[in-house]
Amino acid sequence: MLLERIRTVTDAIREATARAGRPDGSVKLLSVTKSHPADTVRDALDHGLTVLGENRVQEAIAKFEPIRAELPGPAYELHLIGHLQSNKAAKVPGLFDWVQSVDSIALAQALSRRCDQAGVTIDLLLQFNSSGEQTKSGYADPDALVDDAAAIASLASLRLRGIMTIGPFTDDVRLITDAFARTRALFERVATALPDECIDTLSMGMSDDYRIAIGEGSTLVRIGSALFGARS
């Protein structure tokens, strides 16, 4: 079952990439294992899904610490894709390789301190609230995001890599496309403003809208239910 779903999703990614006139392999698949048990993670790894995403720090600790003990070496790459409070920053080093949901200098500074103390470096994305929905985290003001990006890029033990957004909760393709197009424009602003940084990751698109996101320039799509079914 999982193998069939992987083939369906990867074929759809390949087709959307080709339609957008982009080279094959330019979009990375992140498999979202949040709310699924550790056995689902093991199954994903067995099927070659090695870029994984979790929403909550405590859930990730309970799920991945035993798995990390079982697997020698860097067997997978774990991304935090949910909101992170500054007081949880101490739990990130050694657990997550990426944090995709940075939405303030204060959070970035907390991560920098904790990673520096732990002697590790992590990659991060700045979250942009492209839909304007108040229930979502992220920078609402694109100018504020660009202004903060330079300061965050200079922090120790962090590598700023780009931007993440969550598309609007709607079936209106035009609204989804507009949100992703605005995010891509903001991504390009940050890349232009920081030519010495490796700004190469535009994380947008989930199970319901990843084809649209790829058409608007996404380099990383976050897929959960299309791979693993409904969450418990």
Q: What confidence tens digit (pLDDT) does each residue in 139-173 have? A: 999 999 999 999 999 999 999 999 999 999 999 99
pTM: 0.96
Q: How far apart are CA 185 and CA 144, in angstroms?
A: 14
Q: State the DSSP H helix or E strand holding residue 228, giving kind and residue range, or none if neither.
A: helix 225-228
| pLDDT attached to residue 30 | 99
What's CA 150's distance to the chain center, in Å? 20
- Extended beta strands in 134-217, E state: 158-165, 201-203
pLDDT tens digits, one per residue of 100-114: 999 999 999 999 999
State the pLDDT confidence band at 85, using cuts at 50, 70 and 90.
very high
Averaged pLDDT for residues 189-214: 98
pLDDT in tens, 86-96: 999 999 999 99
Position 232 scores a pLDDT of 59
H or E segment and range at residue 116: helix 105-118
pLDDT per residue as tens digits for the range 33-83: 999 999 999 999 999 999 999 999 999 999 998 998 888 667 899 999 999
Sorting pLDDT into bands at 50, 70 and 90, what band is 212? very high
Burial of 173 (0-12, 13-18, 19+ CB in 10 A): exposed
Q: May I ask the CATH class of domain 2-228?
A: alpha beta
What is the average pLDDT across 192-220? 98
